[in-house]
């Protein structure tokens, strides 16, 4: 699929310098720009890759002052990083093909509701009384249980398992092998030393514009709902336990986890391999560093935490400095 610089600039509302009719057929990282590709420059540390780049089109910020002329067509936008994200979404939408398979290899029931131009992949299963909104794409080998609701413009990749009663909003992306709505890890410790399973009768609610990475698991609640609010982005290999509530526009990086019945506020960032203990609340805007472990409630908003048990990052660095000095003194 080819695009001209003029078409790209019109879509991004950008200003062109150079040949507006030059065509590109793909994207490339700025360090690997070549003929026929488009690159973007947004991070100053990659500036040395800008000059001498072989790409045909370069997207840069309007306020960036060139130190020397560029031998390519330049499109200036307000925010190059945001522009490339929007452009990738545009190109992806152009490539999508909607098709509905008909036959034994898609199992569905008369009580299911399928919206307009929904794509159903081979060997998928849709349970009774479930519904899929308009323009959603269900890839092959997806299991959708009974009483599941999936909104409009969603993408459900292969191998996803959606347990009964789960609710998914509009514009959600669920990557391969995600499990949604499975039982939480809840047991009653009996007097004889055994563990009795606690039945989970609640469900999982995922609001609009949520993306969940491959091999992530989000459990249903014991009672009520586990809730993933609007705009949350969850990376691969994450775990969200039962009765958890994740606030709007929070980000969870790979292999992070939230234990049962905890509440994470809005705009939070959980670094890779970080953990949130159970039955605590995390204030809005909290940033948890990689491999940090939060075991007590965080009440102050917009705080950055490091270490296990996690503490304020200023305090952590002071403590770490003393730790290093102590080791050096002991060595001497």
Catalytic residue at 242?
A: yes
Label the pairing between strands 15-17 and 73-77.
antiparallel
How many other CB atoms sit within 10 Å of the CB of residue 102? 8
- Active-site annotation holder among 200, 242, 279, 314: 242
Q: For the packed helices 80-95 and 5-12, what is the interaxial angle rounded to 10 degrees?
A: 110
Residue 7 Rama label (left phi>0; alpha psi -120 to 50; beta): alpha
**In sequence order, what DSSP letters do the residues of 214-230 get, joined into one string?**
TT-EEEPPSSSEEEE-T
Q: 220 and 184 in contact (C-beta within 8 Å)?
A: yes
Cα 24-29-30 angle, rounded to 5 deg: 90
Q: Which residues contact 257 (CB under 8 A, 6 or more apart)?
A: 238, 239, 240, 241, 274, 275, 276
Q: What is the 8-class DSSP label of residue 243?
A: T
Residue 264: beta bridge partners?
Answer: 246, 282
Q: Are 218 and 200 in contact (CB under 8 A)?
A: no
Give the HSE-up count for residue 297: Cα atoms under 13 Å, Cβ half-sphere.
Answer: 9
Tokens 């705080």 map to which residue? 303
Closest of 75, 67, 94 to residue 14, by C-alpha:
75
| Bond from prior residue into 309 cis (ω within 30 degrees of 0) | yes
Rounded Cα–Cα distance for residues 141 and 138 (Å): 9
**Cβ 95 vs Cβ 114: under 8 Å:** no
Which residues are the active-site residues?
A: 242
């Amino acid at each position: 699929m080819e695009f001209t610089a003029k078409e790209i600039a019109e879509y991004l509302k950008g200003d062109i310098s150079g040949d507006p009719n030059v065509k590109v057929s793909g994207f490339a990282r700025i360090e690997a720009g070549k003929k026929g590709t488009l690159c973007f420059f947004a991070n100053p540390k990659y500036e040395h890759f800008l000059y001498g780049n072989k790409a045909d089109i370069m997207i840069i910020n309007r306020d960036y002052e060139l130190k020397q002329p560029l031998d390519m067509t330049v499109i200036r936008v307000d925010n190059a990083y945001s522009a490339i994200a929007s452009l990738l979404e545009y190109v992806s939408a152009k490539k999508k093909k909607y098709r509905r398979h008909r036959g034994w290899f898609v199992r569905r029931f008369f009580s299911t509701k399928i919206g307009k131009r929904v794509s159903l992949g081979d060997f998928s299963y849709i349970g009774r009384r479930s519904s899929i909104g308009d323009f959603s794409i269900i890839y092959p080998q997806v299991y959708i249980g009974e009483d599941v609701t999936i909104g409009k413009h969603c993408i459900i990749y292969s191998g996803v398992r959606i347990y009964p009663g789960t609710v998914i909003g509009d514009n959600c992306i669920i990557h391969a092998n995600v499990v949604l709505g499975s039982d939480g890890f809840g047991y009653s410790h009996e007097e004889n030393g055994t563990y009795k399973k606690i039945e989970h009768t609640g469900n999982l609610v995922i609001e609009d514009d949520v993306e969940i990475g491959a091999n992530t698991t989000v459990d249903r609640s014991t009672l009520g709902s586990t809730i993933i609010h609007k705009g949350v982005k969850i990376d691969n290999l994450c775990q969200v336990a039962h009765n958890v509530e994740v606030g709007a526009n929070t980000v969870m990086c790979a292999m992070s986890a939230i234990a049962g019945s905890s509440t994470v506020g809005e705009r939070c960032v959980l670094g890779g391999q970080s953990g949130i203990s159970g039955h605590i609340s995390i204030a809005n805007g909290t940033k948890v560093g990689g491999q940090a472990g939060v075991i007590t409630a965080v009440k102050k908003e917009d705080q950055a935490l490091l270490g296990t048990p996690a503490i304020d990052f200023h305090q952590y660095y002071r403590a770490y400095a003393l730790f290093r000095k102590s080791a050096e003194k002991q060595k001497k």
